[in-house]
Amino acid sequence: MLESLAKLYDRDLQKLRSEIDFYENETDLWLIKSEINNSAGNLCLHLIGNLNHFIGHQLGGTDYVRNRPLEFSDKDVPKAILIEKIEATRAMLKQILPNISTETLVKNHTQEFYGGDDTNEFFLIHLLSHLNYHLGQMNYHRRLNNSVECRVKIIKM
């Protein structure tokens, strides 16, 4: 199972990188329109923080310290830095996931997440679905911004 999860995490972090790469104008990474509360850049920071905290720190023992409020308030991270953080997260997962023991998988996760009633195995699957949920939001956000800009250009012509 861990081999499959490692492949899926890597695939989806490559998709995250692609979503960030698709933004030609870096300022668009930080756009918030209408009722959309989170920019693509902030969702990227959130996903990186989430994976590094729950998998890197809690399961892998890294020294990562999460600042969750900053994931949503920082609006000035260059695109190149976001990509570096994605690649570092990919590397961390490739190192940690294959080395998680069966004993660790069946243990309950920390109290920090829903009272610790679910196993680490369940939590790893949850984190993958969380990653994909926000990936979908980012894809929609990007395409919505692009289509709005295209409509404005068409109307002005």
DSSP symbols for 67-116: -HHHHHH-----HHHHHHHHHHHHHHHHHHGGG--HHHHHSB--TTTGGG
pLDDT along the chain (157 residues), means of 10: 96 98 92 84 97 96 96 94 98 97 91 75 96 95 70 41
Task: Give the per-residue pLDDT at 155.
Answer: 41
CA atoms within 13 A on the CB side of 127: 30
Domain boundaries, the chain: 2-156
Q: What is the Cα Rg of the chain in Å?
A: 17
Mark residue 121 as left, alpha or beta (left: phi above 0; alpha: psi -120 to 50; beta: remaining): alpha
- What count of other Cβ atoms lies within 10 Å of the Cβ of residue 8? 15
Upper half-sphere CA count for residue 119 (Cβ side, 13 Å): 11
- Please check whether residue 93 is in contact with residue 51, taking contact to mean a CB–CB distance below 8 angstroms: yes
The CATH homologous superfamily for domain 2-156 is dinb family like domain (1.20.120.450)
Angle value at C-alpha 71, between 130 and 92, nearest 5 degrees: 60
User: How much is the pLDDT for 156?
Assistant: 44
Which secondary-structure segment (H or E) carries 152? helix 120-156
This prediction has a pTM of: 0.89
How many other C-beta atoms are found inside a 10 Å radius of the C-beta of residue 112? 10
pLDDT at 115: 66
